[in-house]
């Protein structure tokens, strides 16, 4: 891995709980740094843009690129001098950048050379000449939602036909469109179109106070409330150069691990059901319900909303409540171990899981996969181990990885992560330090940036918060791990039967809502 000192850029430290630096770059150094990162095992974390950050006659927009190096996070600030604004294409260096660039054009009007010009978020809801995240965009106008033809990529040949699924689906899942090109039952190609749940959350943040913003952050993706809240709080605290009380950090980790377990329990039940074992759904649903009822009793919300706040957490956990959690951990561990044995020994289930929706490690690395899905394909990255903030820096996390990259591997990683999180919960409760759980934030500085980076159950969640001269939110960017992993499902589906797609899709269980802010 390249040492950051070898990069031909001037790095400046950023305060906060994660190791982070920033640098101003031009077109040439932007591309050089990104290539160096990719060639040496680094990853793209997020791309976003701001306008009017550099108040000069030439610079109106700034592109921001967050890269993960082995030593930490590097944020590149690239002032855009041309009009209309354009930047070098990063999609040939980092494949996940392609959709991020399309979204950035829809929202900010920043064009990337040689990029896919099809709209990603707009869906005809506003004119193609309006860019909603720009400061001068008129948010009071209403526009008819006009249908625009979307040129899906087609596969031609004898016997090839097309199946369109969605965007409206049966049940209560969120909308997404899937276009299959198939021969018989075999999938030749899958193309996704998302963006149907776009809610304007990043723009909404700009008018909110910090205490209001954390409530919104916790509702971006309802199954990841603790992770989003912690990433937001971390970003706000880094703006202030502030560290929350140590006991509150441990309680945040307790909530985060409970959230991880709750989602893995739900997914394992759904995967059993999709594989033909309805018994698995009923059992895991029962266990998950007990688990999230305890969340409600102790943390005040079944899905852990409004517990983590900038400066700490809303309330403490009592000694009797820790005893209750410890007992629950022992019960859950035993039940999940028994269910794992049933899943492992069920021939029909394993027949559906093994070699279905496979993404081998080399392809996973090329696609930039992260989180649970990435670790199931050999991508050994977990913020809790590579860049552990308190209390993870004292807990000796066992990172769970698997190399087969199929549905079976994603099931195994879920089981093993449950057992590891149960172990972590016991450690957290045994070592929980004394002290307060809230602290007042000091005065923040103007024209600054704060970063939050937390390993949620799907993968890493990233927040970047910019302030202006008034010390209020100027621009807030949120990044869900599903951005990196949605394209991987298209590859996972190829060569499989159409009937296996629901199982493949569920084995990833990516977020529509967190992806479409």
Q: Band of the pLDDT at 54, cuts 50, 70, 90?
A: very low
Which residue, among 326, 335, 348, 480, has the nearest Cα to 418 in the 3D structure?
Answer: 335
Q: Which domains does the chain have, with CATH numbers?
A: 4-112 (3.30.460.80), 160-193 (no CATH), 201-508 (1.10.645.10)
The model's pLDDT over 422-432, given as tens digits with 9 standing for 90+, comes to: 999 999 999 99
Q: Residue 403 to residues 330, 360, 397, 470: CA-CA distances in angstroms?
A: 29, 7, 19, 50
Mean pLDDT of the chain: 93
Which residue, among 94, 462, 418, 121, has the nearest Cα to 284 in the 3D structure?
Answer: 418
Tokens of 133: 């995240």
What are the two backbone dihedrals, phi and then psi, of residue 501, each rounded to the nearest 5 degrees? Answer: -60, -45
pTM of the predicted model as reported, rounded to 2 decimal places:
0.96
With tokens 């031609």, the residue in question is 156
The model's pLDDT over 61-110, given as tens digits with 9 standing for 90+, comes to: 999 999 999 999 999 999 998 888 999 999 999 999 999 999 999 999 99
Q: What is the DSSP string of 294-332?
A: HHHHHHSSTT-TT-EETTEESS---HHHHHHHHHHHHHH
The model's pLDDT over 233-266, given as tens digits with 9 standing for 90+, comes to: 999 999 988 999 999 999 999 999 999 999 999 9
Q: Mean pLDDT over residues 288-301, rounded?
A: 98
Find the distance separating the first CA and the last CA of the chain, reported in whole Å: 33
The model's pLDDT over 441-492, given as tens digits with 9 standing for 90+, comes to: 887 666 789 999 999 999 999 999 998 877 788 999 999 999 999 999 999 9
The model's pLDDT over 331-366, given as tens digits with 9 standing for 90+, comes to: 999 999 999 999 999 999 999 999 999 999 999 999
Dihedral (Cα; 226, 367, 512, 353), 10-degree rounding: -90
Whether 89 contacts 37, CB under 8 Å: no
């Amino acid at each position: 891995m390249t040492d950051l000192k070898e990069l031909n850029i001037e790095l400046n430290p950023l305060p906060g709980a994660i190791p982070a630096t920033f640098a101003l770059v031009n077109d040439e150094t932007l591309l050089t740094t990104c290539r160096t990162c990719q060639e040496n095992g680094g990853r793209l974390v997020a791309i976003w843009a701001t306008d009017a950050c550099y108040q000069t006659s030439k610079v109106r927009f700034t592109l921001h690129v967050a890269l993960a190096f082995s030593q930490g996070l590097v944020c590149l600030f690239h002032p855009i001098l041309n009009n209309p604004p354009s930047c070098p294409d990063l999609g040939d260096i980092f494949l996940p950048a392609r959709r991020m660039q399309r979204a950035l054009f829809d929202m900010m009007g920043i064009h990337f050379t040689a990029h896919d010009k099809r709209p990603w978020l707009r869906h005809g809801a506003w004119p193609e000449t309006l860019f909603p995240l720009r400061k001068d965009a008129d948010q009071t106008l209403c526009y008819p939602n006009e249908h625009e033809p979307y040129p899906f990529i087609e596969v031609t040949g004898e016997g090839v036909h097309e199946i369109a699924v969605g965007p409206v689906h049966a049940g209560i899942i969120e909308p997404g469109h899937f276009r299959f090109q198939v021969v018989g039952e075999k999938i030749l190609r899958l193309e996704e179109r998302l963006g149907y749940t776009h809610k304007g959350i990043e723009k909404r943040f700009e008018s909110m106070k910090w205490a209001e913003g954390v409530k919104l952050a916790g509702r971006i993706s309802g199954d990841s409330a603790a992770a989003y809240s912690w990433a937001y709080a971390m970003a706000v605290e880094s703006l202030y150069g502030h560290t929350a009380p140590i006991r509150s950090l441990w309680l945040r980790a307790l909530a985060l691990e409970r959230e991880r377990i709750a989602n893995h329990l739900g997914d394992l039940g759904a995967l059993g059901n999709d594989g033909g074992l309805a018994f698995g759904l009923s059992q895991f649903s029962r266990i998950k319900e007990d688990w999230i009822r305890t969340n409600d009793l102790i943390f005040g919300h079944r899905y852990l909303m409004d517990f983590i706040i900038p400066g700490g957490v809303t309330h403490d956990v009592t000694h009797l409540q820790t005893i209750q959690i410890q007992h629950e951990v022992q019960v859950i561990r035993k039940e999940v171990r028994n269910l794992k044995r049933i899943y492992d020994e069920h021939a029909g289930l394993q027949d559906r899981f093994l070699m279905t929706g496979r993404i081998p490690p080399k392809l996973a690395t090329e696609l930039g996969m992260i989180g649970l899905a990435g670790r199931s394909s050999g991508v050994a990255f977990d913020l809790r181990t590579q860049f552990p903030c308190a209390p993870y820096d004292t807990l000796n996390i066992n990172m769970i990885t698997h190399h087969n990259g199929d549905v079976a591997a994603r099931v195994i990683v879920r089981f093993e992560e449950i057992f590891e999180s149960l172990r972590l919960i016991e450690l957290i409760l045994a070592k929980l330090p004394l002290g307060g759980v809230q602290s007042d934030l000091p005065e923040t500085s103007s024209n600054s940036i704060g970063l939050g980076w937390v390993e949620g159950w799907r993968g890493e969640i990233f927040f970047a918060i910019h302030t202006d001269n008034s010390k209020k939110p100027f621009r807030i960017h949120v990044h869900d791990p599903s951005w990196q992993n949605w394209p991987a499902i298209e590859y996972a589906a190829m060569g499989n039967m159409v009937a296996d797609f629901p199982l493949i899709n569920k084995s990833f269980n990516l977020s529509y809502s967190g992806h479409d802010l």
